[in-house]
Structure 1
Amino acid sequence: MTSSGSELRRTLGVGDAVVVGLGSMVGAGIFAALAPAARAAGSGLLPGLAVAAVVAYCNAASSARLAALYPASGGTYVYGRERLGEFWGYLAGWSFVVGKTASCAAMALTVGAYVRPDQAHAVAVAAVVALTAANYGGVRKSAWLTRAIVAVVLAVLASVVVVCLGSGEAGAGRLDLGAPDGAGLLQAAGLLFFAFAGYARIATLGEEVRDPARTIPRAIPLALGIALAVYACVAVAVLSVLGPDGLGEATAPLADAVRAAGVPGLAPVVRAGAAVAALGSLLALILGVSRTTLAMAKDRHLPGALAVVHPRFRVPHRAELAVGAAVAVLAATVDVRGAIGFSSFGVLAYYAVANASAWTLDSAPVARVVPAVGLVGCVVLAFSLPGVSVVVGAGVLAVGAAAYGARRWAAGRRT
């Protein structure tokens, strides 16, 4: 039984939970994911966005149903454990913690690349330290900081959309995308899904929202719907100026788009917005990973010392410090751009377990359509990612499974 001294404080309402999700989804992905997705899909970028959105919706619906029944920190780690068994919950938690730790480092390095390219690693480490300290002060403070970041990013994105669609360079002909390539479309959907996955952060905060049975199911689809609208508007605006080929070749697609639209003075603002967006993503990622770490530590799948909650701030401070330290080491020593594909693989594996868990909630065939589509979609998108990402991702999951088996075997020997 969890003692009162280890309980988290319920302070977040629907608005706060939506903002936490938006801080993850409408983050650095919107500034970086469009170009590689366009390279993969060419004329299939917008259909790829639609496929990613459908899979994300199914995942969101499954997560919302499960979160209403199990409003505890840990998200799919808890759902998998309760619905499918301890191993599947553990595997979901392992996928999330490992994959998102790599994603945290990628976001930190994105901040460094935009703020000070020649000192990207140093800036990245400083960003991790600062945001870990912000999380340490309490989740309510983190939610307010995320709210400010989301407001800035949405303002920048709105300016990009207005400038691009209002310029003389915009043309409907550039949106005449033709027939997309199927494999490229799926790979683009997998890459774009990486940016949609932030609504998981809402579910992992289950012990810190007020009335979670109502708040979480309302907040998840709201956050996803807003993020999808933003992504679609930005994608159409940028495509109308650059076209799919120009977008695929762009190194900084949104900055390139405003230059092409004839407003080069807005490019520095877009760069600043990208840095702020990456900070928002990093803040929410650290928040979510530390809560899943807390849940796994409570069940002794990770060191029990990480399960302690700060007596004053009511946050899992040791888990936050451990996650922050791991991310800082990666940000200081490794170029993690290649880990984005692995992180996508891990996130899709995580949601595959969520959909499989939701499948068990109701035996009616109609009720099982959404989790079935979500499960199949996650598997298809995961194996549509670049081959290296698939091999590395599957290998890391196998290592986690082996560690679980070894621990169970050792426990059996002791008894």
Structure 2
Amino acid sequence: MSVARREFLSASLGTFVSLNAASICRATESSLAPPHLRAYKNAYDADPRAASLAWFADAKFGLFMHYGLYSLLGRHEWVMYREQIPVAEYEKLAQQFRPDRFDADFITDLALEAGMKYVNLTSKHHDGFCMFDAENDGWNSADACGRDLCGELAEQCHRKGLGCFFYYSLFADWHHPYFYPREFNPIARPDYAEQPPQYKFQQDEDFQHYLEDATGQIRRLLTNYGPVAGIWFDPLMGYYGRPDLFPMESIYQEIRRLQPHCLISAKQGATGTEDFAAPERSGHSLEKEIAKRYGDEAAKIAAHAWRQNKSKHNEICDTMQPGAWGYTKADDQAHKSPTEVRELLAAANASNCNLLLNTGPLPDGSIHPQDVETFRQLGSG
């Protein structure tokens, strides 16, 4: 990365993004709670994680955003997988990525207007493209367009007292050469007729290359963007396909070491030691589906994790579109109404859950006009 580009990114994000984990630890010692936990200062001084859990239980409502290269195509966030787009062809989208209307100031104001208390952005989805300065050979927004979108969002969240969460696709990566193959899990790779030359996994030991890169990126999210309210892992089926390859407790331990207040989620649960579960829509486990796809042992792991997490204050995630999370043009006239969202929110809260409501920004990064109007109506009562 050139010095000029580094200076540009630094200037665009302000001085806040220069905070690192060491400064966060010093903040704890000086009783300076992260902005979203200021009302929980006394609890934070005694136990940062407990303060975060109390805040999360009170939050009730959050904004989810699936935004990435797939947004340019407008055909679902799984478009690379579903249409078997070759890796080299999909990579060309990075040259077209221009989030000119991604406005973190507007997004966070809109979340506040809707009554939301936190925002969760896809820092990396299953295509492996990062929305932050990940230093992963150009496969990120900072290299593609000179924008660190995670940093921009983090800065605005902290200025306004919103919790900043980062979604991270740990259990699938269709771009990384050393993620495991389809023989272990059908969602691991698109179903290409021939193995792309970019894919180099040959034995289990090769997976360590992926883990080193992924954990390095997670560490970067926790050391370059100030206080992170939570890390949200996905897709759970990728974990159940080869749970032995993922050292989850070590990953969780490192997250809590770097930022003791940072909450951890992994959908219905990978180990059961997550701080909350976040199932999609219906709010249940997928034990039967897991048993059918991956066998009884995987189903036992899933059932144990779900039982452990079910008793906690959890989160249900849903999306403004009928089913897709990333922008899908075919659904332009089918977004949820304010009445439908209020019903979802009431149902989630009645089940001891927050509602994490997703919007898929348009290719230019702007929020869909229908969703803007709905969120504003939510705030007006």
- Whether TM-score is above 0.5 comes out as no
Q: Which has the higher contact order (CA 8 A, sep 6+)?
A: 1
Higher helix share: 1
Q: Which has the larger radius of gyration?
A: 1
Higher strand share: 2
